[in-house]
Homo-oligomer: A and B are copies of this chain.
Amino acid sequence: MLVEVRLRPGIADPAGATVEAALPALGFTDVGEVRMGKAIRLAVEAPDEDAARRRVEQLCQRLLANPVIEEAQVWVSPGEDL
C-alpha cells in the first residue's frame, strides 16, 4: 500500500519552493505548484482491502503524519498486494 503524506494547504514548504525555483534554469517553465511530501510504502496483514485501509489510517494518525500540519491519504492499486 502507498501512503501519501502531504503538507496541508497554506503550510510553508521550503523544499518544494527550492525545487520550483530551480525549474526555469532547467527549462521547465511549464511546471509549477511543487509541493514535497512523503510517500510511504508498507505491507499490512489484513483480511481485505477495507480492513487494511482502516488499519493504515489509524497508523497515520498515530505515527506517520502530524495532523496539525499534514494530511494523509492511503492508495491501493488494483490487484496490489496489501
| A binding-site residues for B, Cβ under 8 Å | 2, 4-6, 16, 19, 22-23, 26, 28, 30-46, 55-56, 58-59, 62-64, 75
- The number of times this chain is found in the oligomer is 2
Is A42 within 8 A of B37, CB to CB? no
Q: Which residue of B lies closest to A43 (CB)?
A: B33
Tell me whether A30 and B42 are in contact (CB under 8 A): no
Instruction: Find chain B residues with CB under 8 A from A35 CB.
Output: 40-42
A35 nearest CB neighbor, chain B only: B41
- With a cutoff of 8 Å between Cβ atoms, the chain B residues found around residue A44 in the complex are 30-31
Contacts A31-B55, A31-B56, A55-B30: A6 and B64 contacting too (C-beta < 8 A)? no
